[in-house]
Amino acid sequence: MRGRFISLEGGEGAGKSTQVRRLAEALRERGLDVVETREPGGSPGAEAIRSLLLEGDEQRWTAEAEALLFAAARADHVARTIRPALERGEWVLSDRFLDSSLAYQGGAGGLGVDRIRALHKFGSGGFVPDRTLLLSLPPKEAAARAGRRDTEGADRIGGRGDLYHRGVSAAFEALAEAEPERYRVIDASGSPDDVAAVILAAMEDLL
């Protein structure tokens, strides 16, 4: 049987990486084989593109070039890591996927979601997750958590202004509302244990 593909999405500092780990553990306890991966990255080629995207000057790429690099990294990640794992019957959990490009480059970056979807169709055959978990934080808490992280050194995109990150959150909310079958919105303001329990409950229909 083909495995399932799950993405975790959200703005900066929502705790996605912790929850990917927690969900992977919970699924393994149920006897499933699970691959944990992330974007940008998740395959050797895509990890090389990750450095191009996250390092250097904020103005390093035009908006179009940035969107193409994310789509190129994703195409490699899908072809080399995600599809082969699903075909082996494994489950794949990805820390970010297409919806990050829709929200960041398409929404906040102003390119529009249709152009991002067109790149995804070309690069990855329009491949979409079976479920997307949106970790959502009230704007104040999101800013506080992101601010804490900034002092530890933000990357090219994480370091963009408040307005940009508010645009990202608004775009994610609109995406979740438009696709209630695929999306589940998770309140990420609780303790890691509480959030992990809510996430597992939001997966029950797939298990």
Assess 82 for contact with ligand TYD (CB under 6 A): no
**Nearer Cβ to ligand TYD (32/155):** 155
Selected binder of ligand TYD within 6, 8, 34, 39 (CB under 6 A): 39
The site map against ligand TYD for 131-160 (x = CB under 6 A) is ------------------------x-xx--
Selected binder of ligand TYD within 4, 22, 96, 145 (CB under 6 A): 96
**Nearer Cβ to ligand TYD (32/36):** 36
Cβ 3 to ligand TYD shortest distance, Å: 21
- CA dist 39 and 16 (Å) reads 12
Torsion of CA 17, 60, 62, 151, to 10 degrees: 40
Cβ 116 to ligand TYD shortest distance, Å: 8
Q: Which amino acid is at 2?
A: R
Assess 12 for contact with ligand TYD (CB under 6 A): yes
Assess 70 for contact with ligand TYD (CB under 6 A): yes
Assess 100 for contact with ligand TYD (CB under 6 A): yes
Contact positions vs ligand TYD (CB under 6 A): 12, 16, 39-40, 54, 70, 96, 100-101, 104-105, 155, 157-158
